[in-house]
Amino acid sequence: MMKIRRMAPLLFAALMLASCSPASSPAPAPSSPARWSAGFGSAEIALPASSDSPLYIAGYHNGWEVTEVRDLCRASSLWIDDGRVGTLLLSVDCVGLGSDTVGRIREKLAPLFEGLPPCSVHVISTHDHAGPDTLGLWGPVGEDGKHPEILGNLIDACEKAAADALADRKPGRLYRSDVKTEDMLRDSRDPVVWDDVLHRLRFVPDDGSAGIRVLSYGAHAESLRGANTRLSRDYPGVLCDTVAEKTGDRALFLPGAVGGLVMTREFFSPFDAEENLLYTGARLAEYALAEEEERELSPVLENRTAEFAVPLDNTVFLWYRFLGILGNEAVRSSDPEIAGETGYGLMTTLSVLSLGETSLLLIPGEIFPELVFGGGRETPAWPEVENPEPLCSIMERYGLGDFFAVGLSDDELGYIVPPNDFLVNETSPYLEQAEPADGSRHYEETNSVGKRCAPKIAEELEKLLKKG
């Protein structure tokens, strides 16, 4: 049996311009005062009561157990509605959740919404590399790495966070602002493209009580790095806690376009994991609290979701699906639009959540930033292959240029790689990474569903928005 590698290795990087700017131009202020209703909730994900099974740490190595708890992972939630429809955003401190687990969460939460306006539920993983294995990929090779109790505890925390958010609902105003960060990021794979903007939403209740902040940033949550065996929320936890301490507002974190892969820098040499974590979180908190012009968002909410099958080429993912480790719904088909090289497709979703003049593009995996904003490697593996239209261009064409991308939303398909630079090992595809003569990096393909994932995402976004 092959060895599943970690989903986020260490990075090398420098900045490069992309064809579409990650930061959108400001939308005009609404002509009338906005009145949203919003609430916040958060709950710790309890450690398993049973010690009969090991608790494996996710994101780097097979069979590495948690040795210490620095801080417990959490599920945090934002409920927001415009009086007609609502949505619940759940931010979960974990490496990722498959669509099967997302379905279990939605089923558990369904009774909470009885009597409320129609609503959508979106479950977003922070991509925490210091959390427990919630996908099953980091146990001993060929074994399910999920502790028998961990997903149950996680779902319970989501239920409590959602219930608390609903109980916390108050009328108020919603604002959007962006702040550009400097000297924070690294990218280990050409081209060097990233979203260096910290995207911010701020809800201000009419009664003057504590507000709610949504903070989104495009970097892997792994400032503690690969030698770490302490359970932690990593930098999203420090960021949100610091914002709460300094303002009294509650905060939740959403990851951006992190594929490629993009992570925060190491700020200390020799490296000290704890210092690096605290410094990274503190720096981002400074940006989160920086004074920038805010624009008020009109109280109009719209959720659009597409459900579709992504062709599955990765035989390793299929093996793990049959072993019961991965739970995503696989469909067998002879339709070339659905079936990958394995003869199967994976069911998944893509959503656009519009909050007044701004939108969240909810993507089910770790998408390469160049697929969102444009740009590409000068010497790709397949120069004759055309990459899909950048998602920012599709969004702009439908009047949704004021948006930010949120990765690992409602599913985890792994890396979403540009097709013109998608290269697998000829003798051991998806088992070993390709090592071409030019020395280019192709690790991410081993943790991708396949080369047609990126075009499928772009195609489904176009179809979704075209419906109106």
| Residue 330: per-residue pLDDT | 95
| Residue 468: per-residue pLDDT | 80
Phi, psi (deg, nearest 5) at residue 247 = -120, -20
- Residue 84, CB half-sphere, CA atoms under 13 Å: how many? 6
Give the Cα separation of 95 and 77 in Å (integer).
Answer: 17
On the question of pLDDT at 13 being above 70, the answer is: no
Average pLDDT of span 255-274: 96
Task: Express each pLDDT in 232-241 by its tens digit.
Answer: 999 999 999 9
- CB-count exposure of residue 134 (10 Å: 0-12, 13-18, 19+): buried
Give the Cα separation of 111 and 281 in Å (integer).
Answer: 36
Task: Express each pLDDT in 118-169 by its tens digit.
Answer: 999 999 999 999 999 999 999 999 899 999 999 999 999 999 999 999 999 9
Record the pTM.
0.93
Give the Cα separation of 103 and 464 in Å (integer).
Answer: 21
Task: Express each pLDDT in 431-448 by its tens digit.
Answer: 999 999 999 999 999 999
Task: Express each pLDDT in 307-350 by its tens digit.
Answer: 999 999 999 999 999 989 999 999 999 998 999 999 999 999 99
On the question of pLDDT at 369 being above 60, the answer is: yes
Share above pLDDT 70 across residues of the chain, in percent, rounded to a whole number:
93
Give the Cα separation of 246 and 384 in Å (integer).
Answer: 52
**Is 310:452 a contact under the CB 8 Å cutoff?**
yes
Task: Express each pLDDT in 75-116 by its tens digit.
Answer: 999 999 999 999 999 999 999 999 999 999 999 999 999 999
